[in-house]
Amino acid sequence: MEMKKIAALLAIAAASGSAFATNGYFSHGYGMKAKGMGGAATAVTGDTFGGANNPATMVWAGDRLDVGLDWFSPKRSVSRVGSPGGAIDGSSESGSSNFYVPEFGYNKMLGWDMAVGVSVYGNGGMNTDYPGGELTGDPFGTCGGARANMLGGCGKLGVDLMQLIVAPTFSMKINKDHSIGVSPLFGYQRFKVDGLQAFTGVSSSGNDVTNKDYDSSRGFGLRLGWLGKVSETVTLGAAYSTKMKMSRFGKYQGLFAEQGDFDIPENFNFGISVKATPKTSVAFDIQQINYSDVRSIANGVTNSLPAPVAPNRLGDANGSGFKWRDQTVFKLGLEYEYSKELMLRAGYNYGKSPIRDGTTDDVTFNIIAPGVVEQHVTLGGTWTLANKSELTVSYMHAFSKSVTGPSALALFGLPSTETLKMHQNSLGIAYGIKFQ
């Protein structure tokens, strides 16, 4: 493929917004085939998204190209009740419920035992867009008497985080049954937040907390993988991704812990694929996402509120984050060859929400990042066309989930109870072509 065409595809991907929040803020799967199987892909071959799943799978993919687009629609709402005199009671639904997330992969065989390729994918993200003015007044005096938003700030409230990863990949077969692979990970992320004026007074840099438009960040990491066909019917796989060290969001150095740091967490996955019958395969993955390694994600929401002095102010090393726990995700997928031209898929994906019920530290800041869904069901299929190219579709539904807990605004003398709620749908289509 000509490099200018690849560059154009990368530019489209980089310009596209991302609003994942399925497994925490990671996607439930990478590549349209995996998305139809609940995300299970560690021990499955057949497309060019090994850079996102398991680099060792690429040497089994052959010469091919995959291009896809996923429509993603999250529905998010928040409510607060029980504050003294109803001073900060209110509810709101987030807008911006339609997002389009591209994917791109290419692989080239170098003989029978080596391959080079690239996977380009949206790693994940968060998005909320509340209209503002939900409270009956201006409880923190930040809006000149105008009605405040759900976090006491002025105007609209919301966050937009997008993460894009480009993963060039080298993979090789150790022998006829085993392969290894490596993918350097080059990351780009874009972020903005509006409506947090009520928190500028507890920041190490009050002018760099909110309403600064988009800022961008770049960084790198590494993914390693192994795949082994241990019998005629059983394949195993494993992959490990380092934490991606990202440059700081300078415009938001007064918001995120460690002066605007927002690294992409370490994660690893194990998988098995079993050929249950000549036409039926079952795949199962376990993925671990270590959000606790990133302070801006894992620090307690109330770190900066009781005593806003160094080192506990927003933006300090010990400043508030979202209090997300590590997440273990289970992915189960089924693939059935209905005919030579049609492959059908179904899947189930479960990961306990990194945001938990019942504690002050878990709810309030997550109004802008309510990654609470846990259970996903998926469907998919691939049609092989006359020219041996493929058309793949996938659908995902994330069931409604709510999290309730006491508001951190009690530290300002306004005790209350908050509830976050979310459900999601996505529908994607991809085109793949084999060159051999």
For residue range 137-192, list pLDDT tens digits in order. 999 999 999 999 999 999 999 999 999 999 999 999 999 999 999 999 999 999 99
Smallest Cα–Cα separation from 123: which of 205, 183, 60? 183
User: According to the model, what pLDDT value does residue 186 have?
Assistant: 97
User: Cβ neighbours of residue 322 under 8 Å, at least 6 residues apart?
Assistant: 296, 297, 298, 301, 355, 365, 366, 369
In angstroms, the first-to-last Cα distance of the chain is 14
All structural domains of the chain with their residue ranges: 3-434
Smallest Cα–Cα separation from 133: which of 106, 163, 153, 103? 153
C-alpha dihedral (56, 172, 111, 64), degrees to nearest 10: 20
Residue 17 has pLDDT above 80, yes or no: no
Residue 51 has pLDDT above 90, yes or no: yes
Residue 260 CA to its chain's centroid (Å): 19
Q: Report d(CA 403, CA 423) in Å as an integer.
A: 12
Structure tokens at 51: 């850079």
Q: Report d(CA 180, CA 18) in Å as an integer.
A: 30
Residue 4: its H or E element: helix 3-15
Q: Report d(CA 23, CA 26) in Å as an integer.
A: 5
311-328: average pLDDT: 94
Contact by Cβ (8 Å): 31, 47 = yes
Contact by Cβ (8 Å): 246, 123 = no
35-63: average pLDDT: 97
For residue range 198-234, list pLDDT tens digits in order. 999 999 999 999 999 999 999 999 999 999 999 999 9
76-86: average pLDDT: 95
* Residue 243: exposure state from Cβ atoms within 10 A (0-12, 13-18, ≥19): middle
Please give the DSSP secondary-structure letter assigned to residue 263: P
Contact by Cβ (8 Å): 49, 32 = no
Q: Report pTM.
A: 0.94
Residue 65 has pLDDT above 90, yes or no: yes
Sorting pLDDT into bands at 50, 70 and 90, what band is 361?
confident
Fold of 3-434: Porin (2.40.160)
